[in-house]
Structure 1
Amino acid sequence: MHIYKPFYKKLWPLLILLITLGCMQGCKPSGALRQLSLRALPDTSFTVRNNADTLTSIPVWRNYFRDALLIRLIDTALINNPDYQIALRQIDIARAQLQMRRAALLPTVNGIVSGGIDKYGDYTMNGVGNFDTNLSPNIKSDQRIPNPTPDLFVGFRSSWEIDVWGRLKAQRNAVASQLLATEQGVRFTKTQVVAMVAELYYTLQAIDDELQIVDKNLALQKQALDIVKVQKDAGRATELAVQQFAAQIHNTNAIKIQLQQELIAAENLLNQTLGRYPKRIDRTQSFINMPTPLLPVVASLKDMLLQRPDVQQASLQLAAANFDIKAAQAAFYPAISLTPYLAFNAFNLATWFRPGSLAYGGLAGLTAPIFQQRQLKTNLAIQDNVRQQQHWVYQQKLLHSFSEFATQWHNYNHQEQILQQKQQEVAALTAAVTTAKELYAAGFANYLEVITTQKGALEAELQLITAKKNWMLSSVHLYQSLGGGWQ
Structure 2
Amino acid sequence: MTKLRNKQWLFSTAVILSLASCKVPAIQEHKADIPLPKAYEGAAADSTSWANIPWRTFFEDPNLRVLIDSALQNNKELKITLQEIEIAKNDVAYRKSFLSPKVGLKVGSGVEKVGRYTSQGAGDASTEIEPGRKMPDPLGDFGVSAVSNWEVDIWRKLHNAQDAAVSRYLSSVEGKNFVFSNLIAEIASSYYELVCVDNQLDIVRTNIALQEQALEVVKAQREVGRVNELAVKKFTAELYKTQGIEYKLQQQVTEAENRINFLLGRYPQKIVRTHTALAAAVPTSVQVGLPAQLLHNRPDIKQAELDLQAASLDVKVARAEFYPSLDISASIGLQAFKPSYLIKAPESMLYSLAGDLFAPLINKGAIQAEFKTANAHQLQALYNYEQTVLNAYLEVTNQLSNMSNLDKETHKQNSQVEVLNSSIDISKELFANNKAEYLEVLTTQRDVLEAKLDLLDMKKEQFETMIKIYKALGGGWK
The answer (yes or no) to whether the contact 2:324–2:357 under 8 Å persists in 1 is yes
1:79 counterpart residue number: 73
The answer (yes or no) to whether the contact 2:145–2:332 under 8 Å persists in 1 is yes
Secondary structure of the residue that 1:344 maps to in structure 2?
A: strand
Higher mean displacement: 256-265 or 356-365: 356-365
1:96 counterpart residue number: 90
Find the partner of 1:165 among 131, 134, 155: 155
Alignment deviations for residues 300-323 of structure 1 (CA, whole Å, 9 cap, x no partner): 122124431111111111100100
1:217 aligns with 2:207: yes
TM-score normalised to the size of structure 1? 0.89
Shift of the 384–49 alpha-carbon distance from structure 1 to 2, 3 Å rule, reads closer
C-alpha deviation, 1:443, in angstroms:
3.6
1:43 counterpart residue number: 38
Shift of the 245–117 alpha-carbon distance from structure 1 to 2, 3 Å rule, reads closer
Higher mean displacement: 33-42 or 249-258: 33-42
Alignment deviations for residues 90-130 of structure 1 (CA, whole Å, 9 cap, x no partner): 11111111110000111101101112334455665545665
Find the partner of 1:297 among 279, 282, 287: 287
1:249 aligns with 2:239: yes
Shift of the 376–55 alpha-carbon distance from structure 1 to 2, 3 Å rule, reads closer
CA distance in 2, matches of 1:118, 1:224: 107
Matches within 5 A, 1:195-274: 195-274=185-264
1:351 counterpart residue number: 341
CA distance in 2, matches of 1:305, 1:471: 26
CA distance in 2, matches of 1:239, 1:150: 113
Code of the aligned partner of 1:79: Q
C-alpha deviation, 1:341, in angstroms:
1.2
C-alpha deviation, 1:33, in angstroms:
3.9
The answer (yes or no) to whether the contact 2:142–2:337 under 8 Å persists in 1 is yes
1:429 counterpart residue number: 420
Secondary structure of the residue that 1:282 maps to in structure 2?
A: coil
C-alpha deviation, 1:455, in angstroms:
1.3
The answer (yes or no) to whether the contact 1:195–1:476 under 8 Å persists in 2 is yes
The answer (yes or no) to whether the contact 2:294–2:392 under 8 Å persists in 1 is no
Shift of the 258–49 alpha-carbon distance from structure 1 to 2, 3 Å rule, reads farther
Shift of the 12–370 alpha-carbon distance from structure 1 to 2, 3 Å rule, reads farther
Secondary structure of the residue that 1:375 maps to in structure 2?
A: helix
TM-score normalised to the size of structure 2? 0.90
Shift of the 142–80 alpha-carbon distance from structure 1 to 2, 3 Å rule, reads farther
The answer (yes or no) to whether the contact 1:26–1:373 under 8 Å persists in 2 is no
Gapped regions of structure 2 (runs ≥ 5): none
CA distance in 1, matches of 2:77, 2:463: 25
The answer (yes or no) to whether the contact 1:341–1:360 under 8 Å persists in 2 is yes
1:461 counterpart residue number: 452
2:20 counterpart residue number: 26
Code of the aligned partner of 1:326: K
CA distance in 2, matches of 1:402, 1:315: 16
C-alpha deviation, 1:13, in angstroms:
9.1
Shift of the 295–67 alpha-carbon distance from structure 1 to 2, 3 Å rule, reads farther
2:466 counterpart residue number: 475
The answer (yes or no) to whether the contact 2:125–2:134 under 8 Å persists in 1 is no
Find the partner of 1:150 among 130, 140, 150: 140
CA distance in 2, matches of 1:278, 1:49: 45
CA distance in 2, matches of 1:209, 1:234: 38
C-alpha deviation, 1:57, in angstroms:
4.6
Higher mean displacement: 193-202 or 374-383: 193-202
CA distance in 1, matches of 2:166, 2:436: 77
Alignment root-mean-square deviation, CA:
3.0
Secondary structure of the residue that 1:156 maps to in structure 2?
A: strand
Higher mean displacement: 195-204 or 464-473: 195-204
Code of the aligned partner of 2:402: N
1:322 aligns with 2:331: no
CA distance in 1, matches of 2:308, 2:134: 65
Secondary structure of the residue that 1:445 maps to in structure 2?
A: coil
Code of the aligned partner of 2:275: Q
Shift of the 121–287 alpha-carbon distance from structure 1 to 2, 3 Å rule, reads closer
Alignment deviations for residues 366-392 of structure 1 (CA, whole Å, 9 cap, x no partner): 111122211111111111111111111
1:69 counterpart residue number: 63
Higher mean displacement: 418-427 or 121-130: 121-130
2:323 counterpart residue number: 333
Code of the aligned partner of 2:55: W
Shift of the 238–65 alpha-carbon distance from structure 1 to 2, 3 Å rule, reads same
The answer (yes or no) to whether the contact 2:329–2:354 under 8 Å persists in 1 is yes
1:383 aligns with 2:374: yes
Code of the aligned partner of 2:422: A
C-alpha deviation, 1:445, in angstroms:
2.8
The answer (yes or no) to whether the contact 1:209–1:287 under 8 Å persists in 2 is no
Shift of the 22–220 alpha-carbon distance from structure 1 to 2, 3 Å rule, reads same
Code of the aligned partner of 2:229: E
Secondary structure of the residue that 1:164 maps to in structure 2?
A: coil
Code of the aligned partner of 2:300: D
Higher mean displacement: 279-288 or 227-236: 227-236
C-alpha deviation, 1:253, in angstroms:
1.1
CA distance in 1, matches of 2:10, 2:365: 24
1:450 counterpart residue number: 441
C-alpha deviation, 1:141, in angstroms:
5.9
Shift of the 147–235 alpha-carbon distance from structure 1 to 2, 3 Å rule, reads closer
Alignment deviations for residues 326-345 of structure 1 (CA, whole Å, 9 cap, x no partner): 11111111111211112122
CA distance in 2, matches of 1:55, 1:314: 22
1:410 counterpart residue number: 401
2:53 counterpart residue number: 59
Shift of the 291–141 alpha-carbon distance from structure 1 to 2, 3 Å rule, reads farther
Secondary structure of the residue that 2:89 maps to in structure 1?
A: helix
Alignment deviations for residues 280-310 of structure 1 (CA, whole Å, 9 cap, x no partner): 2121112441334797512212212443111
Higher mean displacement: 259-268 or 328-337: 259-268
Code of the aligned partner of 1:209: N
C-alpha deviation, 1:70, in angstroms:
1.2
CA distance in 1, matches of 2:253, 2:73: 24
CA distance in 2, matches of 1:121, 1:481: 79
C-alpha deviation, 1:82, in angstroms:
1.8
The answer (yes or no) to whether the contact 1:19–1:368 under 8 Å persists in 2 is no
Q: Percent identity?
A: 33
Gapped regions of structure 1 (runs ≥ 5): 1-5
